[in-house]
Amino acid sequence: MTLFEKLAADIEELIQRGVFLPGERLPSIRQTGKHRRLSITTVVRAYLLLEGRGLVESRPQSGYFVRATPLAAAAPVPAKELEVSQPNAASAKVDVSRLVLATLRSIRTDAAVPLGSPYPDPALFPVRKINTYGHAIARRQPLWGVTDELPPGNPELIRQIARRYLENGLSVDPNEIVVTIGATEAINLCLQAVARPGDTIAVESPTFYAMLHAIERMGMRAIEVATDPRTGIDIDALSGILARERIAACMVMPNFQNPLGFQMPDENKRRLVELLAAHDVPLIENDVYHELYFGDAHPSALKSLDKKGLVLHCASFSKSLTPAYRIGWAIPGRYRDRVEKLKFLNTLTTPTVPQLAIAEYLTHDGYEHHLRRVRGAYRQQAKLMRTMVKRFFPEGTRTSHPVGGYVLWVELPAAVDSMMLYRLALEQHITIGPGTMFSASDAYRNCIRLNYSYPWSPAIEQALIVVGRLAASLMQGDFH
């Protein structure tokens, strides 16, 4: 039994014996840590465990209290911290690549605490097992026998991808799948297949910068659509945009969106697909985080609602299995042949050995067991990071409430400039993701994105405390 589990068990026994009565406040986190000689993180994890069991409840700025009526399981915390975004309604050129490149370079610094990393912690992934398959495949065949795969990709991997979709409730035609070098290439190919330089693309606000990169790379314009932090893109706002100007395509992340972490309700997904189908506008679905859900069931895909072949679905194994092999795919609907041709013209082939190694793993090893372990870790670490941000960041800070994935969106008070905070944190060997990377219009200057995929540690705890103090100093004008 871990330290936090032991503490939780002790407190649970005291509740059952009536030492702590319903409605009474538990000792503060700091007081409990001091008396028991435990870290703040350990106490927080114990209290979160008790909350998950329905025995206690947290009250903002007040602490943890014994529930008046214990529940079998705690109700989900309402995601009401953030408001619907209100982006500029005009289309704009996109120029975020230099900022993103500089930020990613800083994240790769070995000594930096990777709170700003866009990548999942590789320690959770079966990299050695997949590498073993790759080495065995390379040894089985002479060098001339391991040729890279022409589009659409390796047949066995394509078969395994189609089987995985079927297991998750979506019947996919294997002949529609095109294997790519990660989801980034899939997104770029799909966008290139449906739009031309100068066209306007509708995106969520904030949106994942890889989608903005694709728009920038092809000389297109972006129009940001108001987005609810709980339910996703505002369909009524998008309808208004479609009524007044020509939109060549719409790009969204319906499941565990980066950076907000929401999952669109099924009814909203249906309305979105039907709206764009009525205007004959292609819909590019970035579903790279679809396996990383915190709930009980796999989320639905927009692709499952596609009746006209207008949904171009993109995904990869980089976030759920291994980021090292860069294997993704597109399911592009009516644009399948165009995407396959563009794949051939852009990168010609996709390496065979990584495709076969992943196919071998999917065939012989426990992918679902691996995913359950990852989901459990992310679910717990998301709660922990939200709690710590609430505790150590300035008053008025708001956070997203992710229901999947591994990133947390933090809205700081308006006086905090996230670029200045990013530079100050970097001086302390801490990385964060400044909010301006997630908009084409230089919005979200007081927002940051944090990564909670890495196991909780004293270094991560101290880094969050430092970032919170730096944010408070910026509010007080201590830095110029």
Percent of the chain surpassing pLDDT 90:
70
Res. 33: pLDDT tops 90:
no
**Token reading at 275:** 């709206």
Q: Kindly state the average pLDDT of the residues 69-80.
A: 44
Burial label, 243 (beta-carbon count in 10 A; 0-12, 13-18, 19+): exposed
Is the pLDDT assigned to residue 78 strictly greater than 70?
Answer: no
Which residue do the tokens 């399948």 mark? Answer: 336
Mean pLDDT, residues 458-468: 92
Rounded to two decimals, what is the model's pTM? 0.85
Closest listed residue to residue 307, CA positions, set 340, 280, 337: 280
Domains of the chain: 3-66 (1.10.10.10), 125-364 (3.40.640.10), 373-475 (3.90.1150.10)
pLDDT at 19 (0 to 100): 82
Which of 470, 433, 404 lies closest to 113 in space, CA to CA?
433
**For residue 71, what pLDDT band results from cuts at 50, 70 and 90?**
very low
Split at pLDDT 50, 70, 90, the class of 100 is: confident
Predicted confidence (pLDDT) per residue in 366-382, tens digit: 899 999 999 999 998 99
Contact 407, 258 (CB under 8 A): yes
- Per-residue pLDDT reduced to its tens digit, 112-144: 899 999 999 999 999 999 999 999 988 886 654
Whether the CB-CB separation of 394 and 413 falls below 8 Å is answered with yes
For residue 60, how many other CB atoms are within 10 A of its CB?
6
As beta bridge partners, residue 221 has: 93, 200
CA–CA dist 373, 153 (Å, integer): 29
**pLDDT of 76:** 42
- Between 10 and 98, where is the model more confident? 10
For the cut 90, the answer to whether the pLDDT of residue 445 exceeds it is: yes
The answer to whether residues 81 and 399 touch, using CB atoms and an 8 Å cutoff, is yes
Q: What band does 463 get if pLDDT is binned at 50, 70 and 90?
A: very high
Is 90 exceeded by the pLDDT of residue 72? no
Q: Is the pLDDT of residue 77 over 50?
A: no
Residue positions counted in the chain: 480
Q: What percent of the chain has pLDDT over 70?
A: 94
What is the structure's pLDDT at 398?
Answer: 96
The CA-to-CA distance between both ends of the chain, in Å, stands at 48
Cα–Cα distance list, 82 to 401, 428, 445, 475 (Å): 9, 28, 15, 20
In 3D space, the residue among 40, 9, 14, 39 whose CA is nearest the CA of residue 26 turns out to be 14
Q: What is the pLDDT of residues 151-201, one digit of tens each?
A: 999 999 999 999 999 999 999 999 999 999 999 999 999 999 999 999 999
Lookup result for tokens 């039907």:
274
- Tokens standing for 369? 């067991």
Least confident piece of the model among 13-22, 252-261, 331-340, 360-369: 13-22
Q: What is the pLDDT of residue 74?
A: 39
- Residue 40: its pLDDT value, please? 84
Question: Can you give the pLDDT at residue 61?
Answer: 64
Cβ contact 403:295 at 8 Å: yes
**Among 38, 64, 33, which Cα is nearest to 51's?**
64
State the burial class of residue 476 (Cβ atoms within 10 Å of its Cβ: 0-12, 13-18, 19+). exposed
Question: Does the structure show a pLDDT above 60 at 468?
Answer: yes
Cβ count within 10 A of residue 403 = 20
Band (pLDDT 50/70/90 cuts) for residue 480 is low
pLDDT band of residue 49 (cuts 50, 70, 90) is: confident
Interval 380-412: pLDDT, tens? 899 999 988 988 999 999 999 999 999 999 999
The residue that leads in pLDDT, 444 or 17, is: 444
**pLDDT tens by residue, 106-119:** 766 667 899 999 99
- Rounded Cα distance, 456 and 238, in Å: 39
Quick check: helix, strand or coil at residue 211?
helix
Q: Which residues lie below 8 Å from residue 194, measured CB to CB, with a gap of 6+?
A: 248, 249, 282, 284, 312, 335
Q: Residue 73: its pLDDT value, please?
A: 41
Higher local confidence (pLDDT), 253 or 38 = 253
pLDDT of 391 reads 85
Do 302 and 283 meet the contact criterion of CB atoms below 8 Å apart?
A: yes
Which comes out higher in pLDDT, residue 233 or 8? 233
**DSSP conformational letter for 24:** P
Return contacts of 363-371, CB within 8 angstroms, 24+ apart.
363/160, 365/126, 365/129, 367/164, 367/321, 370/125, 370/126, 370/321, 371/291, 371/292, 371/320
CA 452 – CA 405 distance, rounded (Å): 9
What pLDDT, on the 0 to 100 scale, is given for residue 80? 42
Please state the rounded mean pLDDT for residues 293-321. Answer: 96
